[in-house]
Amino acid sequence: MYTIGLRYCGGCNPQIDRTRVVKDLREGLAKLQTAVDITTDRSRAVDLLLLINGCEHACLEEDYSERDGPIISVEGLMVDRRPVEEDDIPDILIRKILDMMSSSSH
Amino acid sequence: MNGKEYIESLRGLNREVYFLGRKIKNVVDEPMFQPHIHTAAMTYELAHEPEYQEIMTAVSHVTGERINRFTHIHHSIDDLVKKVRMMRLLGQKTGTCFQRCVGLDGLNAVYVTSYDIDQKYGTDYHERFRDYLLQVQENDWMPSGAMTDARGDRSRRPSMQQHPDAYLHIKERLDDGIIVSGMKAHITGAVNSHEILVMPTRTMSEEDADFALSFALPADTEGVSYIFSRQTNDTRRLDGVLDGGNPKYGIVGGEAVIVFKDVFVPWERVFMAGEYDFTTELVETFAGYHRSNYGGCKVGLADVVIGGSNWIAEAHGVERSSHIVDKLTDMIAMAETCWSCTLACSYEGHKTPSGAYNIHPLLANVTKLNITRMVYEWMRLAQDIAGGKIITLPSEKDLENPEIRETLFECFAGKQGFSPLDIIRMLRLIENMSVGAGLPEAMHGAGSPAAQKIMIARRSGIEKKMELAKTVAGINRDDYFERIIGKDETTHWNEVKKKLRGRETEIY
Q: Does B352 touch chain A (CB under 8 A)?
A: yes
Q: CATH assignment of B284-462, given 1.10.10.10, 1.20.140.10, 3.30.1300.10, 3.40.140.10?
A: 1.20.140.10
A2-105: CATH architecture: 3-Layer(aba) Sandwich (3.40)
Domain boundaries of chain A, sorted by first residue: 2-105
What is the chain A residue with the closest CA to B350?
A57
Digit-coded pLDDT (tens) for B250-293: 999 899 999 999 999 999 999 999 999 999 999 999 999 999 99
Give me the half-sphere count of Cα atoms (radius 13 Å) on the Cβ side of residue B280. 6
How far is it, in rounded angstroms, from Cα B310 to Cα B91?
18
Average pLDDT over residues B346-374: 97
For B439, half-sphere exposure in the C-beta direction (CA atoms, 13 angstrom radius) is 16
Q: In the beta sheet, which residues pair with residue B16?
A: B225
| Mean per-residue pLDDT, B182-196 | 97
Contacts A81 to B, Cβ<8 Å: 351-353
Nearest to B353 among A14, A55, A82 (CB): A82
Kindly compute the dihedral angle of the four CA atoms of residues A18, A19, A25, A29, in this order, to the nearest 10 degrees: 150
CA dist B431 and B383 (Å) reads 8
pLDDT at B508 over 90: no
What lies within 8 Å, CB to CB, of B419 at 6+ separation is: none
B485 backbone φψ class: left, alpha, beta (φ>0; ψ -120 to 50) = alpha
Instruction: Determine the residue of chain B that is closest to A81 in CA distance.
Output: B353
pLDDT at B504: 67
Identify the burial level of A83 via C-beta atoms within 10 angstroms of its C-beta, where 0-12 means exposed, 13-18 middle and 19 or more buried.
middle
| CA–CA distance, B132 with B320 (Å, rounded to integer) | 56
What pLDDT is attached to residue A66? 85
Alpha-carbon gap: B205 to the closest alpha carbon of chain A (Å): 21
Task: pLDDT band for B506, please (50, 70, 90 cuts).
Answer: low
User: What's the pLDDT tens digit per position in A32-89?
Assistant: 999 899 999 999 999 999 999 999 999 999 889 888 899 999 999 999 999 999 999 9
Strands B169-173 and B177-188: antiparallel
pLDDT band at residue B216 using 50, 70 and 90 as cut-offs: very high
What is the C-alpha separation between B302 and B439, in angstroms, rounded? 12
Q: E-strand spans in chain A?
A: 2-8, 36-39, 48-53, 71-75, 78-79, 82-83
Residue A97 binned pLDDT confidence (cut-offs 50, 70, 90) = very high
Q: Which residues of B are catalytic?
A: 97, 101, 188, 255, 290, 294, 297, 441
Q: Tell me which residue of B257, B246, B192 sits closest to B224, measured CA to CA.
A: B257
pTM: 0.93
Q: What is the pLDDT of residues B117-166, one digit of tens each?
A: 999 999 999 999 999 999 999 999 999 999 999 999 999 999 999 999 99
Are A14 and B464 a contacting pair at CB < 8 A? yes
Determine whether B15 is exposed, middle or buried from the number of CB atoms within 10 Å of its CB (0-12, 13-18, 19+): buried
Cβ–Cβ below 8 Å for A81 and B353: yes
Cβ-Cβ contacts under 8 Å between A and B: the total is 20
**Model confidence pLDDT, tens digit, residues B442-452:** 999 999 999 99
Q: Where are the domains of chain B?
A: 284-462, 463-507
Task: Tell if the CB–CB gap between B350 and A75 is shorter than 8 Å.
Answer: yes
Q: Which of residues 62-101 of A touch B (CB under 8 A)?
A: 75, 81-83
Cα of B77 to nearest chain A Cα, Å: 9
B270-273 vs B357-358, strand pairing mode: unpaired
pLDDT band at B204 (very low <50, low <70, confident <90, very high): very high
